[in-house]
Amino acid sequence: MKNFFDQYFNSLSRHIEAYDYDDLLSFSEAIENIKSKRGKLLLFGNGGSAAIASHAAVDFSKTLNVRAMTCSESSLVTCLSNDYGYEEWIEKAIDYYSDANDLIVIISSSGESENVIRGAVRAKELNLKLITFSGFSPDNRLRKLGDIAFWVDSSVYNFIENVHQSWLLSIVDFLSHKDTN
């Protein structure tokens, strides 16, 4: 059994360490930019990715004083899904809640869910900077749409989600550390 956990954590560590320094730095600069312009950080995802978005939004707000939010509250998701279709709820949430200086972050393990693709397309149509987090295929649709596109070379959901969360929260810690030095 120890062998399983050794292999698991070694593999997870390799995935986390496969980050792109320039992308992390660019994302950090984008966060500083929206903060200086009083913009918001809007984060979206489905399932586990929605939970990651929620955790990150809280930490960006609490730790960095960045206005950050998700639109994953069940009554909003079900309302928009009922009125427009599940495929359009993120797109509609972006229409209702985004402003010109905002930054959109969309998280999806597969990068192929129709609602996240439509949301990403809508962000691009509104000329909002788009940060994406995905996995699975290196040419997934979400990755192709991101201005900054983080990608995990894995098809294992838990690896992808753990890496996405680690990378997102590393930005919080980096900017927090930068502010104190």
Q: Is the pLDDT of residue 2 over 90?
A: no
70-83 pLDDT per residue, tens: 999 999 999 999 99
Categorize the per-residue pLDDT at 6 as very low, low, confident or very high, splitting at 50, 70 and 90. very high
pLDDT digits (tens, 9 = 90+) for 85-119: 999 999 999 999 999 999 999 999 999 999 999 99
Query: What pTM does this model have?
Result: 0.97
Distance CA 120, CA 97 (A): 14
* Cβ contacts of 95 within 8 Å, gap of 6 or more: 122
So where are the chain's domains? 47-180
Per-residue pLDDT, 180: 80
Do the beta carbons of residue 71 and residue 122 sit within 8 Å?
Answer: no
CATH number, span 47-180: 3.40.50.10490
